[in-house]
Amino acid sequence: MVEHLWLLATIPGAVLWLIILLLPWRPWSTRERLEPGPSSESVDLDGITVLIPARNEAEGIGRTLAALERQGPGLEVVVIDDRSEDGTASAARVAGPEGTRVIEGTALADGWTGKLWALEQGLAEVDTKYTLLLDADIEVGAGIIAGMLDLLRARKIEMVSLMATLSMVGPWEKLLMPSFIYFFKLLYPFHLANSPSSRVAAAAGGNVLVETSVLREIGGFAALKDELIDDCALAARIKAAGHGAWVGLSHSVVSHRRYRRLRSIWNMVARTAYTQLQYSPALLFGCVLALLWTFVLPVVGLFAPHPTARTAAIVALATAAATYLPTLIYYRRSPAWALLLPVVGTLYLAMTVDSAYRFSRGIRSEWRGRVYATEEPDLSLVRSSDQRYPSSKP
C-alpha cells in the first residue's frame, strides 16, 4: 500500500513534465522573438499614436517617454493621467517628446478597471492608422516600434505584442521573474497564440501595436471594460473577429518597475491568478493538484524507499529543469537557477491559493490603490460603443 502511494505521488509528475517537453508546439521555447532590424531606426512613424495609461508613475514616466523620443520621427504620444496623486501629469509634460499630449482622466466609471477606462479615454484622441498601447513602466529600445510595424505588415496581421524583459536585479526578482514569463508561456503557448487556426489567444499588455480600426470594430475598450487580464482578453476578441495576432519576446522592450520584496511580486501574481482559473473551485483544485505533482512531490520522492518512485522523481525534476533552461538562457541567467524551480513552483502555488482566498474575502483584485470587489464578471460583448466606434468593414 505504501509502495503504491509513493508511485502515485511521483509518476504523474514525471508524465506531466514529459508531456510538456514533447508537446509539438513547444510552450517552453523562446523561438518567438523580435529585435529591431538595421534599418528600423529611420522608419517614419507618423501613422502611430502611443497611448500610455499612467497612475502614480511620476518616478518612471520620464524614462518611458525619453525612450519614445528615440524611436523615430512622426510618433504621436498621448499620456492619460489616471487620477494620479504624485504629479504624474506634470512629470509627463516635462519629459515627453515635443507634441506629447497629457489628458487628465476622469473619475473611474462604474464597471470598469482603471487601465481600460484610461485607455478608452485615450482612444477618443487617436486618428492614426495604428495605436500602440504602452504601459508607463516600459522602456522601448531604438527601432523596436518600427520592427513591430514591419512584422505586422509582413505577416498581414492586425496586432503585435511583445513581452517585456522584467527587472531581474534583486534576489527575489532573479528567483521569480524569469519563471513568471516561463509560466505565462506554459499557460498561453505563443506558437498556438500566433496560429490563426488555434483558439488560444495571448498578448503582452505592456506593449501592444494594433490597427486602430480593429480596436474600434470590436467596440473599443468598452468590450473589455471589466477584464483584469485585459491583454489576453483583447487578443481573444481580435482573433474571434477574424483578425491575426502575434506575441513574442524581446530584449528591446524592458520594464523598469522594480519588485524588491517578495510581497510585491506576490501581490502582482495573486491579483489575477484566480481570475485565470475563472474563479472556479474545481479548476483551483485541479491546479493545486497539478502543481503538487509537478513541483512538490518530486522533491519528496527523491527520498522514497521505492527505487521506481525515486527514478520517477528524478525524471520529473530533470525534465522540468530542461524546459526551464531556454528561458534562463534567453534572459542571460545562470542555468543553476533551474535547480530552484521546485521552490519557485511552490511559491506560485501558494500565491494562487492566496488569490482564491482573497476572492473569498470579497477582493477580486487590488492594484494601485484600487480594490475591485468580487462580483459576476461581465463576460458578454459590450456593444454599447458600436455607434461611437463604427466598424471599418463594409
47-66 confidence digits (pLDDT tens)? 999 999 999 999 999 999 99
Instruction: Return d(Cα 342, Cα 275) in angstroms, integer.
Output: 23
Task: Identify the pLDDT of residue 199.
Answer: 94
CATH 3.90.550.10 region(s) of the chain?
Answer: 40-255
Q: Is the pLDDT of residue 195 over 90?
A: yes
**The three cell numbers locating residue 357:** 482566498
Q: Which CATH architecture has domain 40-255?
A: Alpha-Beta Complex (3.90)
Q: Is the Cα dihedral 149, 154, 156, 160 positive or negative? A: negative
Task: Identify the pLDDT of residue 217.
Answer: 97
The confidence band for 375, taking pLDDT boundaries of 50, 70 and 90, is low
Is the distance from CB of 178 to CB of 331 less than 8 angstroms? yes
| Residue of higher predicted confidence among 387 and 256 | 256
Mean pLDDT of 293-310: 95
| Residue of higher predicted confidence among 238 and 40 | 238
- Name the DSSP letter for residue 362: T
120-160 confidence digits (pLDDT tens)? 999 999 999 999 999 999 999 999 999 999 999 999 999 99
Instruction: Return d(Cα 132, Cα 71) in angstroms, integer.
Output: 13
Mean pLDDT of 333-349: 97
The confidence band for 205, taking pLDDT boundaries of 50, 70 and 90, is confident
Q: How far is CA 51 from CA 68, 132, 134, 210, in A?
A: 12, 6, 6, 11
